[in-house]
Chain A
Amino acid sequence: MEVDNDASDRDGHRSTSESWQCLETIDNAHKRTVRSVAFEPTQGRALATASFDGTTAIWEKGPNDETYDCVATLEGHENEAKSVAWSASGQLLATCGRDKSVWIWESNGEGDFDCISVLMEHTQDVKMVLWHPSEELLVSFSYDNTIRIWKDEDDDWYSAATLTGHTSTVWGGAFSHNGKYLASVSDDRTVRVWTWGTTPDESSDANAGLYYRPGISYECVATVPDSVHTRAIYSVSWGRPPNKDAAPNGGDSSSGSDLGYLATGCGDNTLRIFKVTTDGSLDVTLTCTQENAHGLSDINCVEWNPTYPGWLATCGDDGTVRIWYLEE
């Protein structure tokens, strides 16, 4: 696991004067592919890695130590674990895998995690899990073409909604900075943006007794048609608008209609940036295209810098990680 130094201008890109150094390599972290990594969001001390060997490892750096040590190994997935994500509070961890399940773990304060839920409602491989930026709400994306939203009531996690609409594997998604919208990308070459209601769905109002678990109603508010991307879209990231501060605020809609930029990483080797605005209805417009961003290779993952707007990291099948800057 390394951060590569790339100032290459082989393909005619303007290179920056930034230089990136690899700080550490953790060798033999897992027995098979390390598929997903995530830093703990509140302190950045801990790192979670999910692997095809079915385990998720938690690493921590000692206070003065520069090396990462494995402090916990979360087993349980029957086969390949595909994704790991920390909740905004840093207290919960979610993992998912080819065994169609989503697992939720809670930190027990002693560096270890207890499994608090095993959710087995997807009917196929689960590709990614993602937490809401502020609420304890989990989203999972699956090979069964659906997106599921999970909530908890009384420490009991349940599926609050199943978002249908994609016609093929949903590879991943990203929340908008204010947490009101969710973008998802799929093998069907579309990007969909969803929103949902906070009031409970009418049909589950039947038994508002002790065991009531409110459902969620949802709506797909925008779709980037499948003519824009010419291959499967593997990754999406939603960067916050430049004039907003770093902390996400839930109900703020007064600071205008600018919802930031979506970046997509596609199997057609092209990096695309979309501007998202809302003015009553949501508008997603293609503003920038970078063909062959990783040469003649798929772009597997894109991620906006959470703190410095305009900075984007991508990685591709060419084995490199590239850092980009979007000029307004």
Chain B
Amino acid sequence: MSFSGGLRLTDLNDYITPGQECIKPVEVKKTGQANGSQIKVGQSGDYYEVTKDGEETKLEAASITLNDCLACSGCVTSAETVLITMQSHHELLSVLEENRRLRSTGESSKCKRVVVTISPQVRASLALKHQMPTLSVAKRMTAVLKTMGVDHVFDSAFSRDLTLIESAREFVERFRKSEGQAGGETSLPVLASWCPGWVCYAEKTHAEVLPWMSTTRSPQQAMGVVVKDYLAKKLDTAPDRIYHVAVMMCYDKKLEASRDDFYNDIYKTRDVDCVVTTGEFDRMLSEIETPLDSASEVEQLDSLFKADASGERLRSSAGSSAGGGLEFVMSYAARVLFGIDVRPDIIAAVGRGETQHPLLQAKAVRNQSDHREITLLNPATQQPVLRFATVYGFRHLQNLVRKLKSGRLAYHYVEVAACPSACSNGGGQLQPADPSPAAKKQWVAETEHIYTSSEQTQSPEENLALGELIRDWFGESGLDSEAAKRALHTQFHGVVAKANPLGVSW
């Protein structure tokens, strides 16, 4: 079990001090009157409040569920980490098993529709281990899952396009707003919030930076709402009759899926029911004896895959395994705000040092590839108009927070990831046979290379299938509609640190 650095440092602590008491606000309705009632314990162990007149009222037991704990991230001890593993591939297998059983007893109508979403970073990791192209990985994963009884297999790169467009729109709106703002209080910088390790860390220890977080959902959660809202309507199924699994590159994503903000109160269902890591998925295939190496390939990938028109070739988004947020947002903002045309893949190439462009400047801060700055210049004045940066890994994150708090951050947009080398190096990714640090680094570099170069890139705005989906879902006003804003945005909640109740100072 390896959470990202941010989560481990702040949360994983078996030494529960009084200051780390459960902060889960369990609301208990109190009358607030000192009416002299007493508590009586009944025969069966229930608690009753007995008033002076002898009237007895049964008291409700306060309860905290696993999800409350996972969602809160106020204290994640190793006990919780064990519980988190319960949200694993065994859950998926048991849902499929239950479906099989219902079908055999003729109760097919009670079956759940099973949808699995796979992320491209996961495919890159599997591709490296099994030495096959990512397209084969996608086709074989689909084949195996469908044989197991899964109904649909989707690609989070598809929902990522949706998130990229919405993130870019959010940035432009906040940029415009900041131009009208005087003094220090601005809506900039925008801090990317797709990384749940970063979000949990920020909520727990640096709640002051939350106002700058982008509120656009991550690709995982955007797919969650596509599946449970859009797809549910298309299939004429209730959202709670769909079981949505995401195969992702880290354990932190399990916590993200458990957040209250991604829970549908009306249907009592989560947008993403279960997150399985790359490693867990690979283990599952070994357990059920259908390894990827010998799996056959499906003819056709399902519709919600980011692919070319024929559906035969996968497409990716320009940028690192963090998702390409920086590249697309800069490209979009450059065009919409300044009328400058520069494609995301050019920005990515300049960022990697592979090419040069007269209007783009890239710099690795302190020779660290995990902290890069990319600046867009105004063609007329040669002055910087957009200053973006990538910040991956806990130590760079520290400096980001420090600069932000002291008001010395010069960036307009920061792509943040808790893991060095971003998502290729997720805690749930497959590991090399050689455990030495050198081999590990080599492995991550190769995973990243596969991720960035095995498919041609395609700008999210060129994803025609996505365009159709947006129109179909939100109507003509598309992403400007209220429904879209509600569906694609989320909130953050700072954890309020309580004063040490023992009040000991030594």
Contacts and interface: CB of A to CB of B under 8 A. Distances in A.
Contacts of B445: 211
Interface string A96-111: 0001010000000000
B102 to A, nearest CB: 47
Interface size class of A (residues with CB under 8 A): 20 to 34
Contacts of B205: 78
A210 B399 CA distance: 26
A211 B440 CA distance: 9
B9 A101 contact: yes
A75 B402 contact: yes
A158 B438 CA distance: 11
B33 interface: no
A197 B222 CA distance: 54
A116 interface: yes
B311 to A, nearest CB: 38
B434 A118 contact: no
A13 interface: no
B439 A206 contact: yes
Interface string B432-447: 0010111111100100
B364 to A, nearest CB: 11
A213 B17 CA distance: 37
A207 interface: yes
Contact of B506 (A33, A114, A158, A204): A33
Most buried by A among B368, B399, B402, B438: B438
Contacts of A120: 5, 8-9
Contacts of B366: 116, 155
A32 B499 CA distance: 13
A155 B241 CA distance: 51
A115 B442 contact: no
A204 B438 CA distance: 9
B398 interface: yes
Contacts of A178: none
A54 to B, nearest CB: 10
A225 interface: no
Given A116-B395, A210-B442, A204 B436 contact: yes
Most buried by B among A52, A114, A117, A120: A114
B367 interface: yes
Most buried by A among B13, B394, B402, B434: B402
Contacts of A114: 399, 402
Interface in A262-277: none
Nearest to B420: A156
A204 to B, nearest CB: 6
Contact of A76 (B13, B398, B439, B505): B398
A116 B366 CA distance: 10
A321 B434 CA distance: 52
Nearest to B505: A32
Interface string A138-170: 000000000000000011001000000000000
B442 A211 contact: yes
B9 A78 contact: yes
B437 A158 contact: yes
Contacts of A213: 437-438
A319 interface: no
A207 B442 contact: yes
B187 interface: no
A115 B395 contact: yes
A152 to B, nearest CB: 12
Given A76-B398, A101-B9, A209 B438 contact: yes
Contacts of A117: 395
Given A115-B399, A120-B5, A155 B438 contact: no
Interface in B1-22: 5, 8-10, 13, 17
Contact of B9 (A118, A207, A210, A211): A118
Contact of A207 (B367, B395, B438, B505): B438
Contacts of A52: 506
A211 B441 contact: yes
Interface in B399-442: 399, 402, 434, 436-442
A142 to B, nearest CB: 14
Contacts of B399: 114-115
B434 A207 contact: yes
Interface string A77-105: 01100000000000000000001010000
B438 A115 contact: no
A206 B395 contact: no
A211 B445 CA distance: 10
A211 B439 CA distance: 7
A113 B19 CA distance: 29
Contacts of A207: 434, 436, 438-439, 442
Contact of A211 (B8, B367, B402, B437): B437
Interface of A: 32-33, 52, 75-76, 78-79, 99, 101, 114-118, 120, 154-155, 158, 204, 206-213
Given A52-B506, A209-B442, 11 more contacts: A78-B13, A78-B205, A115-B395, A115-B402, A118-B398, A155-B367, A155-B368, A204-B436, A207-B438, A211-B438, A211-B441
Q: Which 3 A-B pairs have the closest CB atoms?
A: A211-B441, A115-B398, A207-B438
Interface of B: 5, 8-10, 13, 17, 205, 366-368, 394-395, 398-399, 402, 434, 436-442, 445, 505-506
19 contacts: A52-B506, A101-B9, A115-B402, A116-B395, A117-B395, A118-B5, A120-B9, A154-B367, A155-B367, A204-B436, A206-B438, A206-B439, A207-B438, A209-B442, A210-B441, A211-B437, A211-B438, A211-B440, A211-B442
